[in-house]
Amino acid sequence: MTPIDAEALIVGGGLAGSMVALELAKAGRGAVLLERSKAAHHKVCGEFLSAETIHYLARHNVDLPALGAISLHSVRLVLRRGIVEDRLPFAAYSLTRSVLDEALLTHAAAAGVVVERNSAVEHLQPQGAAWCASVRDGRSFRSANIFLATGKHDLRGFSRPAGTHRGLIAFKMYYRLTPQQHAQLGAAVELILFPGGYAGLQPVEDGRVNLCLLVTGKCLKSVGSNWAGLVPYLFRHAPHLEERLRGAVSLLDAPLTASHIPYGHMQAASRDGLWHLGDQAAVIPSFCGDGMAIALHSGAVAAHHFLKGDRAETYQLQLRSQLGRRLALATRLSQAMVAWPEAAQIARLVPGLLSRIASMTRIPDTALLR
């Protein structure tokens, strides 16, 4: 079939892909977005919307309260020997990815972006001065500029390095807590440490809570390499979590899982015309809750450079200079929490430490596009 030409071709319709599409459409430029899914679906994600995330969504008039987003005010670090709580140093919300991603795709289509659903790209290869993307249904698309925004999924031939924090498996489950436990959780994000990993628990819309956790492969193997064995292990080593989930109802038939996530990865360079966005550009450890902000920021910054006529390499270098040190710090902290969870007791001795860490691992305010 004759390739379909596009000024800009976006592979992936998550946060990063939708943001670059919206920015290009706002500037009156043409864009085609290829999204592999047919409809809204859940993703392995903590679903924490930081101030930076809110900033970028506001650029395109995304009304978070109207979508059902829950306002969050504090963070609790749950240790074996106590709980440390701090106010969040910024406004924050939570909203499920199935709702947010669909809202952004709807905004993109309304802005004039050609959104192609059920269009999984199987091959991406250079073709003269352009790139050609082959879709599973037999179609192909050609563009001199490919925005690679496939999230945790690598395209064949474009695998990311293993990252600096390896061997972690992610799980995610939605629950409906008892009214008492839901009230006690309140408008807080709880970061719960246990030997071999950590978990995040927070309310989301419709009275649900999101439990998202990381565990080492060694730890998971020791409990039978399955969710049924992992849950009793969590309850044994994190009594606070057992209390929260006592009487809770699971809302998914099985947890969502993801492995081989290259935490700590930062894209060093790019081939001409290939723009790496979101998790394809930088993968920050989950405890920071900044992965969604990085996805949106990378999409906006990439569009900014594209519209200026810059090369992809220029964008990639700027993103690295903005995020590199913060990503490295977050990765070291995550490694420490997994290897020595008791070391987090220092947070009980230093008032405001959690807020300081939250600020030090986020996108610098000066880097945000206004």
4-71+93-162+264-338 is classed CATH 3.50.50.60 = yes
Tens digits of residue pLDDT in 122-151: 999 999 899 999 999 999 999 999 999 999
Tokens encoding 320: 């690295």
Note the pLDDT of residue 349.
63
The per-residue pLDDT for 354 is: 78
Both tokens of residue 148? 């690679």
pLDDT at 341: 83
Bridge partners of residue 255, in order along the sequence? none
Q: What distance in Å separates the CA atoms of residue 205 and residue 182, rounded to the nearest whole number?
A: 12
Low-confidence ranges of the chain (pLDDT < 50): none
pLDDT per residue as tens digits for the range 203-246: 999 999 999 999 999 999 999 999 999 999 999 999 999 999 99
Structure tokens at 327: 């990503």
Helices 291-308 and 312-339: crossing angle in degrees, nearest 10, is 170
Q: According to the model, what pLDDT value does residue 58 have?
A: 97
State phi, psi for 358 to the nearest 5 degrees.
-60, -40
Structural contact between residues 169 and 257, judged by C-beta atoms closer than 8 angstroms = yes
Burial environment of residue 315 by CB neighbours within 10 A (0 to 12, 13 to 18, 19 or more): buried
CA-closest candidate to residue 58, choices 12, 13, 11, 91: 91
DSSP H or E segment with residue 315: helix 312-339
- Per-residue pLDDT at 158: 93
Closest CA to 294 of 282, 280, 306, 276: 282
Strand residues in 159-196 grouped as ranges (E): 168-176, 188-194
- Confirm if 174 and 161 have CB atoms less than 8 A apart: no
What is the pLDDT at residue 62?
97
Q: Quick check: 187 and 94 in contact, CB under 8 A?
A: no
Fill in the amino acid letter for 239: P
Q: Where are the domains of the chain?
A: 4-71+93-162+264-338
What count of Cα atoms within 13 Å lies in the side-chain half-sphere of residue 192? Answer: 23
Please return the burial class of 128, using the count of CB atoms within 10 Å of its CB with bins 0-12, 13-18 and 19+: exposed
